[in-house]
């Protein structure tokens, strides 16, 4: 029996602002976009910003030093944040799951940006809880995060579904015993959920 569903934020609940924003920043600076995104993705972990152990300013400084980009921090962050557009159909799915008595959570490797986005769009209230790496001090690259969260909620990993567009995160969650859905589209997600939830 499914007791909880955990949704990734960027790329699932919302459009993927970090990846798309970084690619746009790269293109505007004449930098190869995929390599720049991978650099940014690694640095947000390496600096500790995504797990709340460093500041946004230090993350941008490291990225500028390694890539040569020259934009100011406020421009850089706006390129990211403006692209995290909430998908209304996803919030409808969340509401439907909660109506069935299933607890629904966000589980995201995010920074303080997630709180800022909620202040603007007010999506936290649609969920039973928010698990953000910035506040937990641990992200999805550490597979123990999945068991820790389930344990804290008093459920077994086999009673939870994890939905993410990142295949590596899906594999980590599956290895920890959770049911998983690799998100590719909303229609595909609906079909996958039906196979788990009656």
Would you state the structure tokens that stand for residue 93, as one six-digit string? Answer: 């799915």
Per-residue pLDDT at 51:
98
Choose one of 64, 81, 98: the last residue of a domain: 81
The answer on 135 and 114 residing in a single domain is yes
> pLDDT at position 80, please?
97
Residue given tokens 């972990």 in the structure block: 45
Domains: count for the chain = 2
Does residue 54 sit in the same domain as residue 95?
Answer: no
By CB atoms closer than 10 A (0-12, 13-18, 19+), residue 106 is buried
| Final residue before a domain boundary, out of 63, 81, 99 | 81
- Percent of the chain having pLDDT more than 70? 100
Task: Give the integer Cα–Cα distance in Å for 15 and 141.
Answer: 21
Smallest Cα–Cα separation from 14: which of 107, 91, 128?
91
Q: Are 33 and 18 in contact (CB under 8 A)?
A: no
Report pLDDT digits (tens) over 100-158: 999 999 999 999 999 999 999 999 999 999 999 999 999 999 999 999 999 999 999 99
Domain co-membership, 95 together with 182: yes
Looking at 32, 48, 81, the residue that finishes a domain is 81
Residue 74 has pLDDT above 80, yes or no: yes
Its domain, for residue 32, covers 17-81
Same structural domain, 64 and 111: no
CA 158 – CA 137 distance, rounded (Å):
24
CATH number of the CATH domain containing 136: 3.40.50.1000
CB of 101 closer than 8 Å to CB of 198: no
Mean pLDDT of the chain: 97
Segment 10-14 shows an average pLDDT of 98
pLDDT band at 47 (very low <50, low <70, confident <90, very high): very high
> How would residue 198 be classed by pLDDT, with cut points 50, 70 and 90?
confident
């Amino acid at each position: 029996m499914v007791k909880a569903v955990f949704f990734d934020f960027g790329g699932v609940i919302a459009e993927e602002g970090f990846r798309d924003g970084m690619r746009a920043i790269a293109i505007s600076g004449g930098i190869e976009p995929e390599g720049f995104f991978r650099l940014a993705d690694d640095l947000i972990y390496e600096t500790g910003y995504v797990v709340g152990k460093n500041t946004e300013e230090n993350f941008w400084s490291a990225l500028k030093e390694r890539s040569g980009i020259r934009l100011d921090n406020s421009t850089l962050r706006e390129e990211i944040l403006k692209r995290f557009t909430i998908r209304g159909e996803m919030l409808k799915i969340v509401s439907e799951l909660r109506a069935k008595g299933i607890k629904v959570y966000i589980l995201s490797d995010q920074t303080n940006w997630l709180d800022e986005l909620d202040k603007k769009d007010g999506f936290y209230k649609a969920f039973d809880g928010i698990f953000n790496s910035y506040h937990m001090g641990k992200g999805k690259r550490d597979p123990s995060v999945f068991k820790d969260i389930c344990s804290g909620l008093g459920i077994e990993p086999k009673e939870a579904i994890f939905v993410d567009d990142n295949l590596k995160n899906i594999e980590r969650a599956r290895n920890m015993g959770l049911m998983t859905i690799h998100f590719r589209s909303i229609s595909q997600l609906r079909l996958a959920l039906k196979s788990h939830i009656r």
